[in-house]
Amino acid sequence: MTTTPARPTHPPFDPELEAALTLVRDVLPGSILPEHIPAMREPNPLLDVTPEMLRRDGTVEVSERTVPGPDGDPDVTVLVLRPVGIAPGAPLIYHTHGGGMIIGNRFTGVAGILDWAVESGAVVVSVEYRLAPEHPDPAPVEDCYAGLVWAHGHAAELGADPDRILIAGASAGGGLAAGVALLARDRKGPPLIGQVLMCPMLDDRAVTPSSTSLEGEGIWDRASNDTGWDALLGERRGGTDVSVYAAPARATDLSGLPPAFVDVGSVETFRDEDVAYATALWQAGVQCELHVWPGGFHGFDLMAPQAALSQLSVSTRAAWVRRTLAS
C-alpha cells in the first residue's frame, strides 16, 4: 500500500494579517490557475494605480518613454517618476514589477518605490516587460535588462547619476531584479549600487518545504507558483535547460553582485529559497541584509498596510534604501 507524503507544515499567520486575508479573498482566489490569467489582467479599481495618483498633487513629474528593447524584439515602455525640485545627479531607482510573470504592469507596486524616491530625492524608472505565457523566458528578463541599459545611458537626461542606480522589485519583480543584476555583472553592463529583493520569486524547482506547504492558503500558494513558472519556462521548468537569469536560485556564482536587501514572510512559498539566496550571497562575499517577517504572507505589506508587521517591514526596507542611496 502506498501513502501520500504529508505536506510540510507552516508557522501560523500573524493574527492581524490573518484577519486581513479574509478581505483579500474577495479580490484574489486562493490558487491562481492558468484560466484565471485573462480576468486578472483586467483593470481593477481596487488595485490599479493611475498617473494622477502618482503625481501627488503636482509634487511628482510623471512621464513615459519608449526605449529600445532587446536586439530584434519590440521597444519597451518605461514610466519615469521625478519628484519636483530634486537636485541634478540624483540617485535612480530602477523598478521591475511583480505579478508572477503573468500579470501586472509598470504601475504595479511603484507607489511604494516612489515613497523612497520622495524621501531620498531620487528618480524612478519602472519598466513594462512582456508577460508569460505569451512571451516566455527570456523575454521578461531581457526586456528588464534593456530598460536598465537605457536608464543608465540616459540618466543625465533624467537628472540622475548613472553610477548611483539601485534596482528593486517584489515577487516576480524581485526575481527579475536578481536576474538583471546577474546579467549586468556578466555582461559588464550598468553598475548597480544595490538590489532590493522583496519576497523574490527565484527558484522554479519547488523543492523546498515552504514551496509546497501552502495549498489554497495565504497568497501565491503552490498551485499559483506552478502557474507562474510553467508559463515562464514551459517544459523546461525543473530541468537542466533553465537560465540563472530566469531562476537566480540556480546560480552557483553570486560573487561580484551589489549589496542586497532580501525580505520575505515566514508563511509564504518563497521563504526557503529566499533565505537560501541570502545565505549564498553571504557565502559569495556579498553584503546582504535578510529579514524573515514572522507570520507574514506573500505581499502582506501591500495588502494589509495598516498592520503593525507591515509598517515595521516597510520602515525597515526604507531605512536600508535610504542608507544605500546616501552612501
- pLDDT, one tens digit per residue, over 205-221 is 999 999 999 999 999 99
pLDDT of residue 6: 74
Confidence of residue 5 (pLDDT cuts 50, 70, 90): low
Cell numbers linked to 117? 524616491
In a 10 Å sphere around its CB, with 0-12 CB exposed, 13-18 middle and 19+ buried, how is residue 150 labelled?
Answer: buried
- Mean pLDDT over 154-180 rounds to 98
Q: What is the mean pLDDT of the chain?
A: 95
The Cα-based distances of 113 to 82, 90, 96, 218, 254 in angstroms read: 12, 15, 10, 24, 25
pLDDT score of 65 more than 60: yes
Residues of 309-319 as b/e, b for ≥16 C-beta within 10 angstroms?
bbeebeeebee
pLDDT tens across 10-46, in order?
A: 999 999 999 999 888 777 888 999 999 999 999 877 6
Q: What's the pLDDT tens digit per position in 283-310?
A: 999 999 999 999 999 999 999 999 999 9
Q: What is the mean pLDDT of residues 268-273?
A: 98
Domain made up of 52-326: CATH architecture: 3-Layer(aba) Sandwich (3.40)
pLDDT value at position 7? 76
Using a pLDDT cut of 70, give the percent of the chain over it. Answer: 98
**pLDDT at position 273:** 98
pLDDT for 278? 98
* pLDDT tier at 157, thresholds 50, 70, 90: very high
Whether the predicted pLDDT of 1 surpasses 60: no
**pLDDT, tens digit (0-9, with 9 covering 90-100), for 74-103:** 999 999 999 999 999 999 999 999 999 999
Model confidence at 202: pLDDT above 80: yes
Share of the chain above pLDDT 90, in %: 91
Q: In whole angstroms, what is the distance from residue 310 CA to residue 111 CA?
A: 15
